[in-house]
Copies of this chain bind each other. A is one copy, B any other.
Amino acid sequence: MSIVLSRDSRVRVMENTVTNAEKYFGQLCSLLAAYTRRTARLRDKADQLVKQLTDFANTENPELWATMRNFAEDLAKVQDYRHAEVERLETKVVSPLKLYGVHIKQTRAEIKKFKQVQKNEIKQLEKLEKLRQKSPLNRQMISQAETSVQRASADASRTTHQLEEVIDTFQKQKLKDLQKIFSDFVTIEMVFHAKAVEVYSSAFQILESYDLERDLEDFRAKMHGVYGHYNARPLKDTMPSPAVSWALTGQSTQATIRSQRRDEEEDSTEHSAEEDPVQDLRGQGQAPQQ
């Protein structure tokens, strides 16, 4: 009977391995999926900020307008990198963890199969024991029962070996995958953060080089009526607009595509109104050259 117990305890080790993997991989999968979703929501909020900054820039004098627009563009770039981060996390971290559900189910089925074989072995052993107590002289029956026990034991032994191989492969794959998944996680995060540092360094330069005094002079001139009337849109007559407005439109396209995939909590503000001035300008057929 001791070999049965030993086998039983070894199977429990194997079962624990699978149960643990099932539990923790499941939890890690939903946590990492939630982490990815929250990153996506942060990206969406920053996209709204980009939009708002662009709208705001359009109401300001050329100097601040250019600064805010370039800054907004850099902020948009960071969100593009964040978007890539989200997609990579989904593909290389969340999806492989999700696949584990199937993998674990298959391994569970193998364990179940073995347990039935093991049950049969115990049943045959008990039968033999009973027979030995009740009819110790019935050699033929005892011999038959002994053969059954041997057969059941051989079955159990063989299945245990098979199971050990299955679990060995499972564990090896698990460890490999863990290392791979978390290395991918770290790489994805690292790439994103490194890109963000790069873009924000440029954004910092943009803000540093903003000429407040020049802007203020512009404002004063307008306030004192030098231009005759207040013109809040530098696009109108100060800036060489077609290329610029095109760049603006191009920049916001990706954000628009992305925003379609959003699970929005807040309503985004309406986007149609702001495009009109640019459209108007294009419609007027003005082609100021730089």
Contacts and interface: CB of A to CB of B under 8 A. Distances in A.
Nearest to A25: B56
Contact of A182 (B71, B187, B232): B71
B194 A197 contact: yes
Contact of A20 (B179, B186, B232, B269): B232
Nearest to A184: B207
Contacts of A19: 277
Interface residues of A, number: 85
Given A24-B59, A178-B64, A212-B176, A223 B31 contact: no
Oligomeric state, in copies: 2
Interface of A: 2, 5-6, 9-10, 12-14, 16-17, 19-20, 23-24, 27-28, 31-32, 34-35, 38-39, 41-42, 45-46, 48-49, 52-53, 55-56, 59-60, 64, 67-68, 71, 78, 164, 167-168, 171-172, 175-176, 178-179, 182-183, 186-187, 189-190, 193-194, 196-197, 200-201, 203-204, 207-208, 210, 212, 215-216, 219-220, 222-225, 229-230, 232, 266, 269, 274, 277-278, 281, 286, 288
Contacts of A164: 223-224
Contacts of A48: 31, 34
A16 B266 contact: no
30 contacts: A5-B286, A6-B225, A12-B277, A13-B222, A16-B277, A16-B278, A20-B274, A28-B49, A28-B52, A31-B45, A31-B52, A34-B45, A35-B45, A38-B38, A38-B41, A38-B45, A39-B42, A68-B178, A164-B224, A168-B220, A171-B216, A172-B212, A172-B216, A175-B212, A175-B216, A182-B207, A186-B204, A193-B193, A193-B194, A194-B197
